[in-house]
Amino acid sequence: MPDAALLQVERLSRRFAVAGQRGSQLFAVDDINFELRPGESLGLVGESGCGKSTLVRVLSRLLDTSDGRIVFAGADLAEVPARRFARHAQRPAIQMVFQDPTDSLNPRFTARDTIREPCLLLAGLTLAEADVRVDEVAAQVGLPAELLSRFPHQLSGGQKARVGIARALAPRPRLLILDEPTAALDVAVQAVVLQLLDRLRRELNLATIFVSHDLNVVRLLTDRVAVMYLGKIVEMGPSQAVFSQPAHPYTQALVSAIPGQGPRIRLMGEISSPIDPPPQVCRFASRCPAVQDRCRREAPDLRPVGAQRVACHFAGAAGRPWPHRRRWLRPGATSPSRSMPS
């Protein structure tokens, strides 16, 4: 029997007021639903501005919700204001590894100070107990003891990344949120850090949410993947299924950007505005090569298509190939809009 869900996200939304436009709102995250079990890894992918980073900051309680529930280990954390979450009983159980290890480390703290701080503030350990825990977690992430007395400017990029990971692991979390944790590292260092994260997830049975623009990494290191577009999940399913048989036209375009995946799909048209989007229109309609009249009068819900759930009226329709597919199989074509990330 599978483990019960550790995290349940239900109809989660985050909106921001728009300066100079009274009553208008920017829908950064809109009606998100998913579950995550202990030891499971979920990847979040999509173009810059699709809402990935906002979503993980809401889940880690750095931002308040606008609507919805975040049920973690049976407690609805959305009921707790972000400013008060630091004192919540579940705060040690949800930790985050940030994108740039240099920016996320206090330049006045040694590596030991950085890793010890959450042990004292979140886990409630004594100073002696915290130092023992620092040594334990430093060994887990492969950080030599002699580096613990160094400041961030005395460490390499890979060493700073290990300090950031050790800090997140120090209070013994159950959920680790990784917001592009290797984006600021050299390619050779990225591979080592990613292997480390994958090993730690399996050894510690950590649930992880992995945000990345590197689709190959997401395919290899996650169990499931959620594809976001303008604040919404448009496709979700097992990673191998999503990458081998993408069902949503936006996912197909994303996957085509992976080297060796065949002709590159370049989407035409302009990206719709995330400010006050009409609820009855598909968010992808302005760029979709298969758009139909129905897409402009009825927004699709996530529905089962094979092993995935897809927010598209026509995905998986028997005997119905995508209309006008020749328009978007144009290697080397120049798009008037943004192309997909590499």
Burial of 155 (0-12, 13-18, 19+ CB in 10 A): buried
278, 13, 164, 175 alpha-carbon torsion, rounded to 10°: -130
Alpha helices in 297-342 (DSSP H): none
Backbone phi, then psi, for 267, in 5-degree steps? -80, 135
The whole-number pLDDT of residue 138 equals 97
Domain boundaries, the chain: 7-222, 226-327
Mean pLDDT of 200-219: 93
DSSP 8-state code for residue 109: S
**CA–CA distances in Å: residue 133 to residues 43, 86, 123, 178, 208:** 29, 20, 10, 22, 22
- DSSP of 238-293, one letter per residue? EHHHHHHS--SHHHHHHHHTSTTSSSPB---SPPPPSBS--TTS-TTTTT-TT--G
Q: Please name which of 35, 38, 66 lies closest in space to residue 236, comparing C-alpha atoms.
A: 35
Cα gap 128→113, rounded to integer Å:
13
CATH superfamily of 7-222: P-loop containing nucleotide triphosphate hydrolases (3.40.50.300)
pLDDT tens digits for 143-195?
999 999 999 999 999 999 999 999 999 999 999 999 998 887 888 899 999 99
Tell me, what's the pLDDT at 127? 96
pLDDT of residue 321: 42
pLDDT in tens, 78-124: 999 999 998 899 999 999 998 888 888 999 999 999 999 999 999 99
Give the pLDDT band (50/70/90) at residue 259: confident
Burial class (CB in 10 A: 0-12, 13-18, 19+), 327: middle
Which pTM does this prediction carry? 0.90
Q: Furthest-apart CA pair in the chain: how many Å?
A: 67
What pLDDT score was predicted for residue 263?
A: 84
Distance CA 196, CA 187 (A): 15
Q: What is the pLDDT of residue 2?
A: 61
How far is the C-alpha of 121 from the C-alpha of 171, rounded, in Å?
Answer: 9
CA-CA distance, 150 to 227, in Å (whole number)? 40
- Check whether 340 has a pLDDT greater than 60: no
Instruction: Say whether pLDDT at 207 is over 50.
Output: yes
Q: Is pLDDT above 70 for 329? A: no
Q: Report residue 178 as tokens.
A: 């990784």
Tell me how far apart the alpha carbons of residues 16 and 274 are, in angstroms, rounded to a whole number.
Answer: 10
The pLDDT of residue 330: 40
Q: Kindly report, residue by residue over 5-60, the tens digit of the pLDDT.
A: 999 999 999 999 999 899 999 999 999 999 999 999 999 999 999 999 999 999 99
**What mean pLDDT, rounded, does the chain reach?**
90
